[in-house]
Amino acid sequence: MSQDAHTDEHRDDIGSRFGMWLFIFTELLLFAGLFITYSVFRYKNWQAFHLAAEELDVFIGALNTVILLISSATIAMSITALQQKRKILSLSLMGFTLLVGVIFLVNKYFEWSLKFEHGLYPGSETLVDLGKGEVLFFGLYFFMTGLHALHIIAGLVFIGIVFHRVFKDRITHDNFVHLENAGLYWHLVDVIWIFLFPLFYLIT
């Protein structure tokens, strides 16, 4: 008997979803290290954090939040669509999710470039002159939103692969656990942003 036969004949959707949830736990703990660092430094430098947060553009931040919330809804809808055997609808909802995910990154790019123009990036002299609290705030800002952006990219790749597999009918209405897992991962990315947004933009 070939080796693949004995791996492929075994299918366990609950196990697969369970594995995804465990992976999501690890991602949350990865960010937890940064949230702890944030709270420690905020406690020590609350005044500087207040001033530095006012440099951020609440409009772009809010826009990106709305974008991610909508995309979370569309990826969830694409799962339901596939369950109802509406493949085209499911694919277009996934396509929409991918599109707005990219728009999120474009917004992020413009936001970051603006900060760089103002000299607000780790290692710049302008920032060092502002003071230690500002250095830490923008260090955390770039590190956490940067890591989050990497997760957005990972999520987009994940959804892209699933998109391809749905298109090729390898993920179907009775075998959609990979699509569900991609959706779960995308929700994780969304949830982390829900916490990043108030911590950096709203608490001033």
- Interface contacts to other proteins, rule CB under 8 A: 1-4, 6-7, 10, 12, 14-15, 18-19, 22-23, 25-27, 29-34, 36-37, 40-41, 44-45, 122-123, 128, 131-133, 135-136, 139-140, 142-143, 147
Q: What distance in Å separates the CA atoms of residue 99 and residue 155, rounded to the nearest whole number? A: 12
Residue with smaller CB distance to other proteins, 96 or 142 = 142
Q: How far is the CB of 7 from other proteins (least distance, A)?
A: 5
Instruction: Please report how the helices 58-83 and 87-117 are oriented relative to each other, as an axis angle in degrees rounded to 10.
Output: 160
Residue with smaller CB distance to other proteins, 118 or 132 = 132
Residue with smaller CB distance to other proteins, 43 or 59 = 43
Residue 97, exposed/middle/buried by CB under 10 A (0-12, 13-18, 19+)?
buried
Contact 137, 48 (CB under 8 A): yes
Q: How far is the CB of 101 from other proteins (least distance, A)?
A: 23
Dihedral sign of CA atoms 82, 90, 9, 19 in order = negative
Q: How far is the CB of 164 from other proteins (least distance, A)?
A: 18
Q: How far is the CB of 85 from other proteins (least distance, A)?
A: 28
The token pair at 201 is: 């933009």
83-85-91 Cα angle (round to 5): 90
Residue with smaller CB distance to other proteins, 28 or 66 = 28
